[in-house]
Chains A and B, each alone.
Chain A
Amino acid sequence: MKSRFAHFAKKEFLHIFRDTRTLIIIFGIPIVQLLMFGYVITNEIKDVKVGIYDPAGDYLSQELITKLTSSGYFIPELIITSEKAIEPALKSGRIKMVISISPQFAQKFYKDGVASIQLITDATEPNTASLLTNYASAIINEFASDKGIGSQSTIPFEVRVRMLFNQDLKAVFMFVPGTMALILMLITAMMTSISIAREKELGTMEVLLVSPLKPVQIILGKVFPYIGLAFANSIIILLLGYTVFGLPIRGSLILLLAVCFLFILLALSLGILISTVVKTQQIAMFFSMIALMLPTILLSGFVFPIESMPKVLQWFSVIIPPRWFIAALKTIMLKGEGIALVWKEMLIMISMSLFFILVSIKKFKERLG
């Protein structure tokens, strides 16, 4: 004989699989969102159209231009013939940057040891502009030191930058953990709060409460299927990140899945908490959107680094659950560290879950009394 609980939990699966729209949302959103974040929102530099102003036109300037344009970062879109034409060219939007080489470039370089190159960028997109100048300067500096004169002779230090853990500064490495937090939050917290609110709205919750099922069993039976779905989703996201974007999983896979599981429980407890205070599906959805999605996107370190937030928001981000999940994910996936460096995050997630569950039980009892 199947237990009462099994019968009840099975029902929730029936609801989910009968509702194709919800299924599409559950499995479609992660894929679409990940591909979107991975391909569209990118701060990588690739094939940027630039203008070239080269009044020198000697062999050295030609060599430099070839080096710049063969780097894969820049494409020479426009040859500018006069200084006056530089600004209109940028204004037209056809190019993002102009590389302007001073006259008698080769002669000055070898004779005086100093030749100037001006980089003029379109700073309507400030981040892109500074990235462009960084990339270009790096190439130019390398060119100068190859030619034997230049930076090394005049500057006593040589700064060598190495970006650890994400050598190519791939944005997708930042977005996968964030997207994962967002999706898990969406599916578990929002779906559970909506599905519990639906029982209340339909009046079936009352019938269930009159039945021999204990309230704890009712709640567990409702959330049980979503644990499985959310877990399946985290695996899909990880697989996509790994196969499509080459995201590394340097640390232990088991630890990584354990952290995902903890976060799923945390999101569930939040969903349950929401469902104890709201009465309708609409409010549950609204609540989840405002109270969970926005902080997840803005304050968890998903899009904006926590270190560069104002102090007040930094303190506030401490209570945003996905912050700890994203931090732990990055540590495990990118740095390949073990439990020694993520136990703090895990402990915080466990405490938060317990706190939310305790508050839910209290709320639930108040309502019944």
Chain B
Amino acid sequence: MVQNGKVIEVKNLTKKFGDFTANSNLTFSVWKGEIFGFLGANGAGKTTAIRILCGLLEPTSGEISVAGFNGYTQRNKIKRNIGYMSQRFSLYEDLTAKENIRIFGGIYGLTNKEIKVRTKQLLAEIDMEKQADWLIAALPLGWKQKLAFSVAMVHNPKIVFLDEPTGGVDPITRRNFWEIIYRVARAGTTVFVTTHYMDEAEYCDRVCILVDGVIEALDTPLNLKTKYGANNMDEVFLKLARKVTS
């Protein structure tokens, strides 16, 4: 892992919805080119945190810096430098693969020429050149998911946020998807991914485990397994979750 600079810096981030505290005093940094996993059960506050980092939600308090820009005052600059893929593979089902890429390329300010080049490149990366003119509705779930990832990468963002990107797809497609994630990270893009699949946590460079809105652990999967005397991440997670509830 090349640690040549922080791309995300969060200090004492807190988000409250009325009386409910979704995120409590989160502090962490993410390095350039890193695959950073955000782990937690459903409702642990993963999605809230990712939405704040993307500028979809305003934090209640705390300091945020994403891609070198201030999370309160420079949101527009942040938006140009990040890609986002939500839990639902949000593509337009009545449009073709090519059209989806073209629209988002246009929204991110790419020129027509750039869009053409990028479309070819992206479709080649995920082996979907033949399906370029298929309607999204006709694609199987795994392909939609890969394409949604490509669309999030259309403008070559510095950081790409993936909110539970592998929900509901089969293990082979998941494995396949992680290979694409690796490729992107090796090329220098930081990947910030949330998941509740513990086997996926093993693929991350570092993981941050969230329990009830609080960071319970943050380290490499190897260090965490050693520290908690566990064979895999699943055990680490269960130990942490039990510790909190008991």
Contact = CB atoms under 8 A, between A and B. Distances in A.
A160 interface: no
A163 interface: no
Given A203-B87, A203-B90, A369 B54 contact: no
A105 to B, nearest CB: 74
B107 A211 contact: yes
B90 A1 contact: no
Interface stretch (B31-39, B76-84, B217-225): B76-84
B167 interface: no
Contacts of A202: 88, 90, 92-93
Interface of B: 54-58, 76, 79-80, 82, 84-95, 99, 102-109, 111-112, 152, 161
B24 to A, nearest CB: 19
A210 B106 contact: no
Chain A's interface: helix, strand, loop or mixed, by majority? helix
Contacts of A210: 54-56, 79, 82, 84, 161
A11 B54 contact: no
A15 interface: yes
Contacts of B99: 11, 14
B103 to A, nearest CB: 5
A218 to B, nearest CB: 10
Contacts of B90: 202-204, 206-207
Given A8-B103, A368-B58, A14 B108 contact: no
A209 B58 CA distance: 13
A19 interface: yes
Nearest to A7: B106
B108 A4 contact: yes
A256 B107 CA distance: 36
A212 B79 CA distance: 5
Given A1-B112, A10-B106, A11-B95, 12 more contacts: A1-B109, A4-B107, A8-B103, A15-B92, A203-B88, A203-B89, A203-B90, A207-B90, A207-B152, A208-B107, A211-B79, A369-B58
Contacts of A209: 55-56
A7 B92 CA distance: 14
Contacts of B85: 207
Contacts of B88: 202-203
A91 interface: no
Chain A: interface residue count, which band? 20 to 34
B240 to A, nearest CB: 29
Contact of B109 (A4, A11, A206, A208): A4
B84 A8 contact: no
Contacts of A309: none
Interface string A1-39: 110101110110011001100000000000000000000
A341 interface: no
Nearest to A369: B58
B94 A8 contact: no
Contacts of A1: 109, 111-112
Contacts of B58: 368-369
B95 A8 contact: no
Nearest to B84: A210
A213 interface: yes
Contacts of A11: 92, 95, 99, 103
B86 A19 contact: no
Contact of A212 (B87, B95, B107): B107
6 contacts: A14-B94, A203-B89, A210-B161, A211-B107, A212-B80, A212-B108
Contacts of A15: 92, 94-95
Contact of A211 (B87, B102, B104, B112): B104
Nearest to B83: A210
Given A8-B103, A14-B99, A210-B82, A204 B108 contact: no
Smallest CB-CB A-B distances: 5 pairs: A7-B106, A203-B88, A203-B90, A210-B84, A204-B90
Contacts of B79: 210-212
